[in-house]
Amino acid sequence: DGGITQSPKYLFRKEGQNVTLSCEQNLNHDAMYWYRQDPGQGLRLIYYSQIVNDFQKGDIAEGYSVSREKKESFPLTVTSAQKNPTAFYLCASRSGTGPYEQYFGPGTRLTVT
């Protein structure tokens, strides 16, 4: 899990509620990413941020929002507009220079009923 923490590990919400997933890193990495993982679907990119106060939509951004006010933090909000929010959510980070390796956090499993 390296220096990336995600909390909580499990999260339960009722349909129609917004929920925010936390991601913090102490690796001094510039770039941070959010992925969604569903069985048999691999990892799909939701949002990413190359630097503070800037972020870009990934392949499946609809129904999600993010902020990047601090280098260490990249929270993801799953809004009520997300049609099928139940999934395993993974945060990752990458150094801004040198190798392109992305390092992942332990993930948050969100269940919406």
Which residues lie near other proteins (CB under 8 A)? 1, 4, 6, 31, 40-45, 48, 50, 56, 58, 90, 92, 94, 100-107, 109
CB of 101 to other proteins, least distance (A): 5
Mapping DSSP onto H, E and C, the string for the chain reads CCCEEEECCEEEECCCCCEEEEEEECCCCCEEEEEEEECCCEEEEEEEECCCCCCEECCCCCCEEECCCECCECCEEECCCCCCCCEEEEEEEECCCCCCCEEECCCEEEEEC
Q: Which is nearer to other proteins, 18 or 62 (CB)?
A: 62
CB of 61 to other proteins, least distance (A): 12
Smallest gap from Cβ 105 to other proteins, in A, equals 5
Closer CB to other proteins, 18 or 41, in the complex:
41
User: Of the two residues 31 and 80, which places its CB atom closer to other proteins in the complex?
Assistant: 31
Tokens of 45: 């990119």
